[in-house]
């Protein structure tokens, strides 16, 4: 009996891999990876966070870095005609140590339950590696953002993330740019150079409505989009502040990191669940404005490999991804998160 291509695909059985009349086909289903399944990536090395400490830690094989934050040296003002005006008195500057430590381990273990030879023919192993890598990258993106929003990337008690803006009123299309200008002024008065703004999708929509109304915001050019990706929205204030749009900001991300959507019935467990869930619920954050040089992120160990897993599970291979990372804001005076009250 003759089998047409249409028959083969219409009658293909994914379990037996048999088509009409018993003819074996390579497959009627094509597996293609759709990237960025849930959240996009705005954590760009050297652009939205600093990598200077990472390079030092990796090159010197450090697990922990202590950065000395110096206080200012006291300067006295004296008239030149006064006694002892030109006498030099030795002084010593003091300061605090800021701990930067890799405090997180992100890992993926994906078992491919399929004979190795067949997997190579079908491409399933490559498909699973791509899927595992994409899933890992997405969680890494959320964890990197959490260093900026929540802190907690280092066990140092001073690592608490970006302070909240004093303004807790929800922004509108008429107030959002004024709020950003006010927060920028607060940071600059503290000595910061706020050059990065990460906004929610809702704030991004408001920005687009401003085009033509006020000239503070300039949309990304094609060349800028090619360099930074679609997450780059444009610049504010004649290029002084780069704007990136994140669909993680302004949303609840708790289920993506494995937190149950349903609260436990036990009161103690429920309290712990609510505390953990709140760390990843960023639905009331409109934007984070900061100096990207103060956000320090380190990734000191990276590993990805495919391991023969047949000794544990017959005819299978294990996709393994492992990274040791950490991060924190080095100076809390250089970042602000705009959150609105309930």
pLDDT tens-digit map of 71-101: 777 788 889 999 988 888 887 777 788 888 8
Q: What is the pLDDT of residue 37?
A: 59
**149 within a domain of the structure (yes/no):** yes
The tokens of 285 are what? 């954050």
Residue 267: CB atoms within 10 Å:
8
Which range (23-32, 167-176, 192-201, 229-238) has the least confidence? 23-32
Strand-pair partners of 68:
97
Q: Is the pLDDT of residue 35 over 60?
A: no
Q: What is the pLDDT of residue 29?
A: 52
**50 within a domain of the structure (yes/no):** no
DSSP-derived secondary structure letter, 271: H
**82 within a domain of the structure (yes/no):** no
Share of the chain above pLDDT 90, in %: 33
DSSP 3-state of 338: strand
Q: What is the pLDDT of residue 1?
A: 44
Q: Percent helix, strand and coil across the chain, each rounded to 5?
A: 30, 25, 45
**80 within a domain of the structure (yes/no):** no
**14 within a domain of the structure (yes/no):** no
**76 within a domain of the structure (yes/no):** no
153 and 147 Cβ atoms separated by less than 8 Å: yes
Token match 């048999």: residue? 18
Tally of domains within the chain: 1
Q: Which domain holds residue 155?
A: 99-260+267-339
**9 within a domain of the structure (yes/no):** no
Q: What is the pLDDT of residue 239?
A: 84
Q: What is the pLDDT of residue 56?
A: 78
Which has more pLDDT, 69 or 294? Answer: 294
Q: Is the alpha carbon torsion for 303, 306, 308, 312 positive or negative?
A: positive
**16 within a domain of the structure (yes/no):** no
Question: What is the mean predicted confidence (pLDDT) over 273-302?
Answer: 92
């Amino acid at each position: 009996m003759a089998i047409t291509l249409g028959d083969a695909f219409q009658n293909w059985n994914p379990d037996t891999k048999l088509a009409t009349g018993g003819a074996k086909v390579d497959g009627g289903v094509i597996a293609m990876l759709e990237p960025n399944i849930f959240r996009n990536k705005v954590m760009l090395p050297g652009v939205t966070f600093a990598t200077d400490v990472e390079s030092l830690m990796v090159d010197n094989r450090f697990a922990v870095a202590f950065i000395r934050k110096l206080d200012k040296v006291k300067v006295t003002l004296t008239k030149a005609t006064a006694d002892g005006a030109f006498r030099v008195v030795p002084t010593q500057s003091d300061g605090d140590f800021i701990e930067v430590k890799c405090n997180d381990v992100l890992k993926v273990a994906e078992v491919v339950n399929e004979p190795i030879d067949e997997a190579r023919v079908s491409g399933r192993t490559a498909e699973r590696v791509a899927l595992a890598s994409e899933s890992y990258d997405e969680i890494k993106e959320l964890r990197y953002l959490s260093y900026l929003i929540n802190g907690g990337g280092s066990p140092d008690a001073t690592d608490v993330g970006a302070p909240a803006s004093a303004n807790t009123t929800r922004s509108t299309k008429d107030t959002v740019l004024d709020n950003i200008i006010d927060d920028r002024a607060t940071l600059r008065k503290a000595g910061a150079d706020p050059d990065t703004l990460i906004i929610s999708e809702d704030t991004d929509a408001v920005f687009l409505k401003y085009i033509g109304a006020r000239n503070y915001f300039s949309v990304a050019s094609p060349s800028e989009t090619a360099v930074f990706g679609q997450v780059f929205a444009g610049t504010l204030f004649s290029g002084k502040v780069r704007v990136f749009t994140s669909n993680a900001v302004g949303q609840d991300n708790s289920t993506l990191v494995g937190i149950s959507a349903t609260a436990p019935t036990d009161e103690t467990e429920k309290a712990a669940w609510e505390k953990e869930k709140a760390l990843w619920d960023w639905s009331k954050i409109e934007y984070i404005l900061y100096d990207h040089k103060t956000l320090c992120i380190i990734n000191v160990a990276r590993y990805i490999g495919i391991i023969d897993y047949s000794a544990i599970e017959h005819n299978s291979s294990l996709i393994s991804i492992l990274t040791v990372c950490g991060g924190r804001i080095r100076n809390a005076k250089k970042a602000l998160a705009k959150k609105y009250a309930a």
